Amino acid sequence: MTILRKPMLRRFTAALAFISLAINTAYANSSQVGIAPVARTTLKESILFAIDRDPSISQQAAQLGIGQAQIDEARSGWMPQISLNGSTGHSQTTDSSGSLKNSAAWGLSLTQLIYDFGKTNNSISQSSAQRDSYRYQLMSTLSDVAEKTALSYVEVKRYADLLQAAKENVQALKNVEQLAKLRADAGVSSTSDELQTRTRIAGMQATVAQYQAALNSARARLAVLTGMQAENYSPVPANLAVEPDSLNRIDYSLIPAVMAAQNMERSAQYGVETAKSQHWPTLSLKGGRTRYESDNRSYWDDQIQLNIDAPLYQGGAVSARVRQAEGARAMASSQVDQARFDVLQKASVAQADWTGARGRMEAGKQ
């Protein structure tokens, strides 16, 4: 994984987020097209095409929509609940004045939540934090797709350069072979030099074939990711180079995977508060108007009541839900640490690979 400089990381992440919002709706209803040939492409173009093509981005965008719907559902708890009800069949009411037989009833009822000791508000906050986590998961998916594409692009450039160098070595060895043949024909040297050169040419030609196969494989992987097969690939931008002290300057607050885990932890904390609030009563206002059809007369029943629903004993169900929520919070907290660990591990491997590659390149120049 290449470590980007901080300003570039901000611009890159913001650009990817903007692009994803623009393409996800259209892509969700479209099918993937085949691989189109193009004359030339760049790393930036390859990443943009890969984002437009990868189905995991549409999946995360759909998940983000689900998160927003969950917020709307939680907010509806503060809205009036209106329902139409009706029934038919035998119903008899008996009191000191006699009995009344009802054959049907229908009416309208309304319930308005007044206060519930944080149940609804905590549920809204929990859903909002979860929605934010989904948003950062989408950004993390964008980063993952960009990373896969960039690595494939670099592999194509790497094997293309290795193949070109191997071909040049073959040509150089052929020149040496021609010179050795001339020296042998002139009697200046033996034919062993010529035979040795031919052996080296055969070995280098095998290397050429190996690099050609690796290049074809890398081009095929990149073509599947981007949906296009380019004849030429522009050089990788030099400003993507790893800096020597990059590991000491990682800003985890800008890493989408870490931000997603942090918001999921915050959602889990609200889940604990929601579970604890189940110990407290719920205060609501209920009203209704019902029409009763009886054997001898029909009448209306109007009601408006202040209702209190207070749990006294539920067999330990609420306490069990609290423990479950606390366990989920502990898991979410460990996921934050895991996300930071994964980022540091990727960055460490990338820096080690970069240092090794630079060392080999410098050694080759000497």
Q: pLDDT band for position 179 (50/70/90)?
A: confident
Determine the residue type at 36: A
* Entry pTM: 0.77
Please compute the mean of the pLDDT values over residues 132-146 and round it to a whole number. Answer: 95
Rg of the chain taking only CA atoms, in angstroms:
35
Please compute the mean of the pLDDT values over residues 249-255 and round it to a whole number. Answer: 87
Q: What sections of the chain are H helices per DSSP?
A: 6-28, 43-53, 55-75, 119-185, 192-226, 256-276, 317-365
Tokens in use for 28? 């969700």
Does the pLDDT of residue 331 top 90, yes or no?
A: yes
Please compute the mean of the pLDDT values over residues 290-316 and round it to a whole number. Answer: 87
Per-residue pLDDT, 32? 52
Does the pLDDT of residue 37 top 60, yes or no?
A: yes
Per-residue pLDDT, 226? 93
Residues across the chain: 366
Determine the residue type at 160: A
| Cα–Cα distance list, 255 to 106, 243, 343 (Å) | 57, 18, 8
Specify the CATH number of the domain 6-89+117-358.
1.20.1600.10
Long-range Cβ contact pairs of 156-159 (< 8 A, separation 24 or more)? 156/215, 156/218, 156/219, 156/222, 156/233, 157/233, 157/235, 157/236, 158/218, 159/211, 159/214, 159/215, 159/218
Q: pLDDT band for position 301 (50/70/90)?
A: confident
Per-residue pLDDT, 149? 95
**Strand 81-95 vs strand 282-294: parallel, antiparallel, or unpaired?**
unpaired
Q: pLDDT band for position 1 (50/70/90)?
A: very low
**Separation of first and last alpha carbons in the chain:** 28
Give tens-digit pLDDT for 224-234. 999 999 989 99
Does the pLDDT of residue 142 top 50, yes or no?
A: yes
**How much of the chain, in percent, has pLDDT values that exceed 90?**
58
**Strand 298-309 vs strand 282-294: parallel, antiparallel, or unpaired?**
antiparallel
CA distance 225 to 55: 11
Per the listing, tokens 């996921």 go with 335
Per-residue pLDDT, 96? 64
Least confident range from 16-30, 188-202, 270-284, 328-342: namely 16-30
Beta bridge partners of 41: 233
Q: Where are the domains of the chain?
A: 6-89+117-358
Sign of CA dihedral 17, 137, 58, 131: negative
* Residue 327 near residue 230 (C-beta atoms within 8 A): no
The tally of CA atoms less than 13 A away on the side-chain side of residue 265 is 16
Per-residue pLDDT, 95? 65
Please compute the mean of the pLDDT values over residues 60-71 and round it to a whole number. Answer: 94
What is the average pLDDT score of the chain? 85
